[in-house]
Amino acid sequence: MIHGLVKVGYQPLHCFVQKKSGLSVNVSLDPDNLPSTEKFRKYKQNVDLPPILPKNKKKPYPIPVKKMLRASREDKRLAELGIEKPLEPPKNGLLVPELIPVAYEVIEYWKVLIRGVARLLTVVPVYGCSKCSDVHVGPDGHQIQDCYGSGNSQRRSYHSWVRGSINDVLVPIESYHLFDPFGRRIKHETRFNYDRIPAVIELCIQAGVDLPQYPSRRRTKPIRMLGKKVVDIGGYMEDPKPCQSEDAMALLAELDTYGAHNVRPPLSENEKRKLAETTIKAYSTVRRGVRQLMRKYTVKACGYCTEVHVGPWGHNAKLCGAFKHQWRDGKHGWQDATLDEVIPPNYVWHVQDPKGQPLTSKLKKFYGKAPAVVELCVQAGAQIPDAYRPMMRIDIVVPDSEEAKLVA
């Protein structure tokens, strides 16, 4: 039986093990003196590669179903009693003041990320398969036979590589811009009346960022809801016309990956390394900021396709062509979105030696993976972040093809 107290912090941990004979032995749990098994549990050397979700099933719910049903029953009980649903910002239409600086920080680092990736693409080649969605970062495309695109049987599942672009590294996830997220829902017939912008930008706008070309309604009084019905929304307002000045159009080019062109390459190796460090820092900052915003602001994602909608309710545009869309008349199956659905990491195979032999299927189990942005920055000279080291499998030595037969 173990007795003792554990102090919080980086101090060595001690516990007293009482044996049957009545003697107590002081056992140190200092991380530097841990047994090999305990060290492995505390510091993971490798982690599993991200799973590939099947396309003939709906995505798993990020929130347990029992928790959603419990909240729905509580809302129904309050509605039957005539009690309005208690809402806190931003669920009641008001802004969260402490998250406004976070939204502005995400916008600025999003611009840095787009500029950095566009410039690094001029020195680090990126390839994309013309038959499937696979991407490879490195001088030559890999030789791993995992292509499931059209005509893969004739190619023996080898990829058909073509030169990639920034959209292969930063996957564009767009969303409809809404002047009032609590206003009229987007219908299939009115979908062309709304602009499509990156989902990250739309999330920042609803979190408090003011852009003249994309105005947003700022409420001073909260909305009221009775169950699932909105009792008081403060009246409907017509969407103002967006600003069409030259400055506004120049800002739009900075916020979208489609405007990243005509960039100059880094001049020296030192400049390339600094640019890679800045880009990977911007990527981590954007993901951290979006995670903070999504804890408060509602973002919906389709459970069958990649569509994302920023707002309390999903739109009604019938554009889903994924699994069993005929049964749903093309409507999306909305559920709460995750961070990887708003900013897809787009995992690629990690190349430990870009100047070495291309990756092969025989040594596939020795390779690691990393997000495309991280792999691009690492090959440009940036240091590998600690969060991605286990998945990239840095500590594994890739053997030769003949030596791999002797590995257990």
Computed on alpha carbons and rounded to an integer, the radius of gyration of the chain in Å comes to 26
**Res 100: pLDDT:** 95
* Sign of the torsion angle spanned by Cα atoms 350, 356, 361, 367: negative
**Res 73: pLDDT:** 92
Between CA 282 and CA 101 the distance in angstroms is: 16
**What average pLDDT does the structure give for the chain?**
84
Between CA 358 and CA 17 the distance in angstroms is: 53
Is residue 267 scored above 80 in pLDDT? no
Is residue 329 scored above 50 in pLDDT? yes
**Res 39: pLDDT:** 45
Predicted TM-score (pTM) of the model is 0.84
The partner residues of 347 in beta bridges, in order of sequence, read 371
CB 163 within 8 A of CB 127: yes
The pLDDT tens digits of the residues spanning 7-30 come to 333 333 344 344 444 444 343 334
Between CA 170 and CA 121 the distance in angstroms is: 12
Minimum mean pLDDT range among 3-17, 287-301, 361-375: 3-17
Is residue 356 scored above 60 in pLDDT? yes
Is residue 36 scored above 90 in pLDDT? no
**At 246, phi and psi to the nearest 5?**
-65, -35
**Res 236: pLDDT:** 72
**Res 244: pLDDT:** 62
* Sign of the torsion angle spanned by Cα atoms 217, 100, 337, 228: negative
Long-range contacts, stretch 325-333, CB < 8 angstroms, 24+ apart:
332/302, 332/303, 332/304, 332/305, 332/307, 333/58, 333/302, 333/303, 333/304
**Res 19: pLDDT:** 40
The pLDDT tens digits of the residues spanning 109-131 come to 999 999 999 999 999 999 999 99
Q: How confident is the model at residue 345 (pLDDT cuts 50, 70, 90)?
A: very high
- Which positions ≥6 away from 51 have C-beta within 8 Å? none
**Res 246: pLDDT:** 61
CB 342 within 8 A of CB 199: yes
Is residue 242 scored above 70 in pLDDT? no
3-state secondary structure of 406: helix
**Res 408: pLDDT:** 56
**Res 32: pLDDT:** 42
Q: How confident is the model at residue 184 (pLDDT cuts 50, 70, 90)?
A: confident
Residue 312 sits at the vertex; the CA angle it makes with 227 and 283, to the nearest 5 degrees, is: 150
* Mean pLDDT of the 131-148 span: 91
User: Where would I find the H helices in 134-207?
Assistant: 166-169, 199-206
**At 226, phi and psi to the nearest 5?**
-120, 100
The partner residues of 369 in beta bridges, in order of sequence, read 349
The partner residues of 129 in beta bridges, in order of sequence, read 161
Is residue 176 scored above 70 in pLDDT? yes
Torsion, CA 325, CA 327, CA 330, CA 334, rounded to 10: -80
* Mean pLDDT of the 248-270 span: 75
Torsion, CA 31, CA 36, CA 37, CA 41, rounded to 10: 40
**At 325, phi and psi to the nearest 5?**
-70, -20
